[in-house]
Amino acid sequence: MSFIAERIFNGAALAACVSAALTFGFPVQAEDAAHTIANKFAEDTASNEEHAKQKELQRTMAELKKKADEARARANAQRQAEETESRRLYEQELLERAREESEATRRAAAEEGAQAKARAEAQAKAKADEVARVAQEKAAREQKRAAEVEAARRAKEIAQAKARAEAEAKAKADEVARVAQEKAAREKKRAAEVEAARRAKEVAQAKARAETEAKAKADEVARVALEKATRETKRAAQAEADRRIREAARWAAEATAKEAEAELAAREPIHANHSSDREAQELAERLREARHKYSALGGPTVQSVPARAKPVTVTPAAIRMETKPSKPTARAEQHVTILLIMDVGKRGWRRLSKTADPMLCLHEHCFLSRGSDLPAEKLSRHAAFGPTVALVKRGVSCRSSPSCIFRDIDLETAEAILQPVDLRVLRHDRRETQLIRADKTCDLIRGELVCGHTVGTTDWRAWIVPESVAKRAGPAALEMALESGLEGLD
């Protein structure tokens, strides 16, 4: 037992040494010594009693290790607390130092501001003194100049008085000479007037004779010219009437021929079934007569309809009604509907958008379209090129469209100068002007509006349709003509 107690005492002593080593910073060496002791006890124990001793020793060593860990943790916590306190003191010292530096900077700035204010006041006072000095010098100069001006004025008055006296003396002498000259001139003029009256009478008599002869010649020339113009006008009117008659007859003949062919083609199956030879012969005869009339009027040769052609429905009466030439009145020829197609602009946004905002200008007014069935809006040029039209109205019904219909435009005269305008925001695109008048060749042909003349320039074209023809055509025919491209017959 004494041996066991001695061993336990030795173990306790070693544990105390290990704990002391851990406390003073030698944890690794303490653990090694404890393991060495444990291994030594393990080697000495051979029996069950020795095994129990070993277990007791291990438990003791575990307790010692736990105490060593606690001591190490306390030491680390104390060291961290000391470091935190040291950092806090350092930061507090830095803060105090920054406050002192800020206060010093503020005082220096205040002193500098006071010095700057003093310098500014001194400069202002010096400037005010300089202004006062300059004003005094200027007043002195003006006073001196006024005195000089007064002296010059008095000298000038003296010189003028002297000059007036000299002029009055000279005027009296001139008056005496003038009276003498006028007397001599009146006598000379009286003699010249007598001579001139005699010559004027002779000239007037010769002029009257020449005017009488010239008037007689002019009357003869005017009569001859009037007769020639009358003959040419009648000839042109007759030629136009003949052309219209030929066209109407050609269209009617063509329609009659097509009607006959269609009726013949439609009845051929019936002929085959019912043997109606007499009706077939009558239709064939009508077809030959229509072909003969149509060819005589200058139309192309009409080919026969194939035997199995489908029947076609034709309304000759409607065709003949629509092919009647229009007879516009004198007022209608000054009121026109203008069908316009503009080329899109080649600058700015127009080059990409391919759009236009059309407006027409004639004389002192401009027009904005309100569609194909309403009269165009009439504006003065000042209002048309103002901001309201450019920013709000634009092209109204034709906004962003290069093609447009302007109804019931008053030309005011038989001929007028037309200028289309593409409305922009700042700088409008004014196109080239063109002299226009109502196109008398415009008419309805089979429900379609046709005009013989297309007016325009390189970047726009138009039809000038008499308003009476436009009313008969209606909005649909006007829009269809605009979509066709306005290709005239000339």
pLDDT in tens, 241-298: 567 666 655 665 565 566 556 655 655 554 444 444 565 566 566 556 655 554 554 4
Contact 420, 400 (CB under 8 A): no
Whether residue 314 is predicted with pLDDT greater than 70 in this model: the reply is: no
Categorize the per-residue pLDDT at 432 as very low, low, confident or very high, splitting at 50, 70 and 90.
very high
Predicted TM-score (pTM) of this structure: 0.36
pLDDT of residue 319: 32
pLDDT of residue 241: 59
What is the percentage of the chain residues whose pLDDT exceeds 90? 29
In order, the DSSP letters of 268-316 are HHHHHHH--HHHHHHHHHHHHHHHHHHHHTTPPPPPPPPTTPPP----H
List CB contacts of 365: < 8 A, sequence separation 6 or more: 378, 379, 380, 381, 384
The pLDDT tens digits of the residues spanning 400-415 come to 889 999 999 999 898 9
List CB contacts of 371: < 8 A, sequence separation 6 or more: 397, 405, 407, 475
Mean pLDDT for 215-226 is 72
pLDDT of residue 377: 92
Looking at every residue in the chain, the average pLDDT score rounds to 78
Mean pLDDT for 212-227 is 72
Give 397's DSSP letter. Answer: G
Whether residue 5 is predicted with pLDDT greater than 70 in this model: the reply is: no
Contact 412, 437 (CB under 8 A): no
Burial of 467 (0-12, 13-18, 19+ CB in 10 A): buried
Whether residue 318 is predicted with pLDDT greater than 50 in this model: the reply is: no
* CA–CA dist 243, 443 (Å, integer): 13
pLDDT of residue 77: 92
Contact 462, 451 (CB under 8 A): no
Categorize the per-residue pLDDT at 1 as very low, low, confident or very high, splitting at 50, 70 and 90.
low
Contact 444, 325 (CB under 8 A): no
pLDDT of residue 198: 86
Whether residue 419 is predicted with pLDDT greater than 90 in this model: the reply is: yes
pLDDT of residue 310: 36
pLDDT of residue 301: 43
Taking CA atoms, 42 is separated from 52, 58, 225, 430, in Å, by 10, 10, 158, 118
pLDDT of residue 326: 43
pLDDT of residue 16: 64
**Look-up: residue for tokens 């830095």?**
94
The pLDDT tens digits of the residues spanning 448-476 come to 899 989 999 998 999 999 999 999 999 99
pLDDT of residue 312: 35
pLDDT of residue 313: 34
Whether residue 211 is predicted with pLDDT greater than 70 in this model: the reply is: yes
pLDDT of residue 490: 58
Mean pLDDT for 86-105 is 90
